[in-house]
Structure 1
Amino acid sequence: MRPLVGRPAPGFTAASTQGEISLSDFLGKPVVLYFYPKDSTPGCTTQAQNFRDQAEAFKAAGAVVLGVSRDSIKSHENFRLKQELEFTLVSDPDEAVCLAYDVMKLKNMYGKQVRGIERSTFLINAEGLLVQDWRGLKVPGHVNEVLSAVQALG
């Protein structure tokens, strides 16, 4: 079921590059929860770099950025190191978090249908309510749009 803007964001507990984390760990701060298909692929690398490059602005706005994909912790650690990412990456190999946010979709890859993560971002306010979502998004300009939405939360 698709999570709805204005309702509580689906909670989760998952392995991450900071150990096991739960969404509830971040109550009191806005959370930018972004889902991406795969570590170290061109679009996902650019997206991560864009979040990295705006890390100070997100921090200044009091927000936490969490990236989620089905990759392993080892893959996430390598990606974080190589791209100098300060934010946490969540490993979701069983797709529990992806399914809670309804981001698994059939996509066409080289003429074949494959099941994968639809690039999506969710903004959760300090009270844990989902306040905005972006689905099937394009990478250019997206992080700045998310940052503006975070800053508008005040």
Structure 2
Amino acid sequence: MTAVPALSLPMTGNQTFDTAALAGKPYVLFFYPKDNTPGCTTESGDFRDQHAAFLAAGVQVFGVSRDSIKSHEGFKAKLEMPFELVSDPEEALCEAFGVMKMKNMYGKQVRGVERSTFVVDAQGQVVKEWRGVKVPGHVSEVLAFVETMK
């Protein structure tokens, strides 16, 4: 288990994602490469569709990418997401969770966010992680784990 570092970043809804303020509350952070891309749209939609079940389990959900707040607000509105998206253009949160990777895109090496999900418990410890996530069925797997935390 790893403790989540103290970080404060802007997020949608004119709010601030603050790890210290989340103390005592479990949450899910899902890191994704880019707003409005097919995999990210599907994954975000899956979290949206199961959001009520996460809340029923007492767990908040946050999406994280390097996109701007403006991009996030449009993406959130388009998909009618009931949770906030954290903007991490400086990669502070991405680096803290080690999700920046070299990837092949159209034959070129590109540095980007590896699709990853982390469950953080009420004590601010990472208790479960998924890296290199394949979208189909992933959100259901995360929810099943979260429901064991009650």
Question: TM-score when scaled to structure 2?
Answer: 0.96
The answer to whether 1:51 aligns with 2:47 is yes
Q: Deviations over 1:91-117 (max 9, x none)?
A: 001111101111000000011110000
1:55-106 Cα shifts (integer Å, max 9, x gaps): 1000100101010000000000000000000101000011111011110000
Match of 1:146 in 2: 142
AA in 2 matched with 1:48: S
Query: How many equivalent residue pairs?
Result: 149
Quote the residue 1:98 is aligned against: 94
Structure 1 position 127, deviation (Å): 1.1
Secondary structure at the counterpart of residue 112 of structure 2: strand
The equivalent of 1:8 in structure 2 is 3
**SS of aligned partner of 1:24:** coil
User: RMSD between aligned alpha carbons?
Assistant: 0.8
| 1:17 alignment counterpart | 12
Question: Secondary structure of the residue that 1:76 maps to in structure 2?
Answer: helix
Match of 1:123 in 2: 119
Distance apart, 1:12 and its partner CA: 1.4
Aligned-pair identity (%): 58
**What do the CA deviations read for 1:6-51 (whole angstroms, capped 9, x no partner)?**
2212331101003222012222221101100000000000000000
8 Å CA contact retained: 1:30, 1:150: no
Aligned to 1:85: 81
The aligned counterpart of 1:75 is: 71
Q: Distance in 2 between matches of 1:12 and 1:121?
A: 17
Letter in 1 for 2:116: S
Contact 1:105 1:118 in 2 (8 A): yes
Q: Contact between 1:39 and 1:45, CA under 8 Å: does it hold in 2?
A: yes
The structure carrying a bigger strand percent of its residues is 2
